[in-house]
Structure 1
C-alpha cells in the first residue's frame, strides 16, 4: 500500500509539472561586448497556439541598450503548440562593467498585455581604455606650434562651371540674335574713330612740316589721304587719277584742290604748295568720315 501511494503521488506531481507553461528563454550569444558594437540577444517562447503572444518591436524601450537591428523568424506550430523566436542586435554605450538583462514577451488577454519575463542573462563590458584621466595638463599634451601658411588645393567645381558655361553660351546667342547688328555697327564705329583720329594727327603733322622738297611732301600727303579714304569707303582711291576722282566724285572744291596740288607737283614754275588745297582735302576726309558714322548708327 505504501509503495502504491508513492507511485500515485509521483504520477500526479509529474502531471502538474507538464501542465505548467515554461517561461520565455532569452540570452546573449556572447559573454562580453565593446562599447558601440552590436551584440546578438536571442529570445524564444513555446506556448499554446490558442494564446496571443507578441515580441518586442523597434518601438520598445531596450534600456540600457539601444536596438541596432533585429531578425524575426516565422512561427512554428505543431500539435497545438507554437514556437516564436527572434534575434535582437543590441548596442551598449555605458561604462558599467556588466549588465544583467532580460527582454520580456507580451501576452494579450482581453485587450491587456501581460509581461512574460525570461530568466536574466549577464554580459560583461570589454574594457579597451583601462584608465580615463579627469584632466590633462597643457604642458603634457604633445602640441607643436606651427603658424606657417599651408596651401590648400583648390577644388574646382566642374558641375557649376559647366552649368555657368551653358548659361553664358545661351545668353551670348540671345544677345547676338537680338542685338548682333547693333553691336557689330557699334564696334565698327569704334574702330573708325580710332583710325580717323590717327589719320588726322598724321595728316596735320605732315602738312605743317617745312620741307625743301615740297613736291615730295605733296606726294606723301596725297598718298596718305587716298589710302585713308579707300579704307574708309572701300573705294579704289589709290588707283585713280585726279581726273577719274573728279569724275566719280563731282565736288567743285575737291576738284579745284586736286588740280592745284597737281599743278604744284608737276609744273616746274611752281615754287611752293597751296595750304588751302590741303585743308580742303582734310575737310573732305572729315565729311566722308562723319557720313560713314551716321550710316552705321542709323542702320
Structure 2
C-alpha cells in the first residue's frame, strides 16, 4: 500500500515538473500532498527539480529548519535523465504542533557550481489545521453532576509552609556559600557526559567508515558531529553549510576534511580515506572540548 502511494506521488511530481520545461532549464517546484493536517500527525511535502545534468542539485537534509514543522522522515527518489534534463524529487514527512489555522512552508534547492552555490525556492504553499475539539461558545451548556464525590481529608497547610520555607532558606544559604562550586561541578559533569556519549558513537562511525566508506553512513556521522559541535560552541553548526562553518575564526583547520566529506555526502562519491577526514574532525572537537573544560574551571 505504501509502495503504491509513493509511486503515485512520484508520478504526480513528474507530471508537475514536465510543465513548461521549455521555458527554463532549471525549475524547482513543491507543495503539500494533503489539504489539511491534524496536530502531531504526519503530512507530506514534495519538492522536485529539473536541471542540466552537468550541474549538481542538493535538497534540504534533516538538519534544515522546517519551521513551523518538524521532520519525521523523508523519501528520496533517484535522479532520472530524460530529454537531456536531470529530474530529482524528494518527499518529506512532517509534523506540526502549532495551532495556527493556516500554516505555510516553502523549501530551497541548492545548485552547486564550483565553490559557489545558487538557492532556488519553491512557491509558498499552505495547509489548513483540522480542529478535533469543538469550539466552546457562549451557548455551550455544562452537564450537572450531583453524584456524591469522596474528597481528601483536610491538609495541614501551615506545616507545609513552614517546611517549604525552611527548605528554601537552607537552599539559599548553601547557594550563597557553595553556589559557584556547585554550578561549576554540574557544568563540568554535564559537559563530560555529553562528550563521552558523542565520542563513543562518533568513533564507532569512524571505524565503520574505515571498512565501508558508504556515503549514507558518512552523512549520519556528519549530522552527529554538527549537532554536538553546536551544543558545545553555542553556534548553529547544524544549519550551517561548510562555507559558513569555515567563516568562524577557529575552524580553519577543518577546511580540507569538511570539503572532502561534502564530496562524499552530497556528491554520493565513495572515497576510501573518508574516515581519515572524520579523524581530523574528531581531533578538532576534542581540542574544542578541552578548551571549554579549561574555561569553566577558570570561571569564564
Same fold by TM (over 0.5)? no
Higher Rg = 1
TM-score by length of 2: 0.42
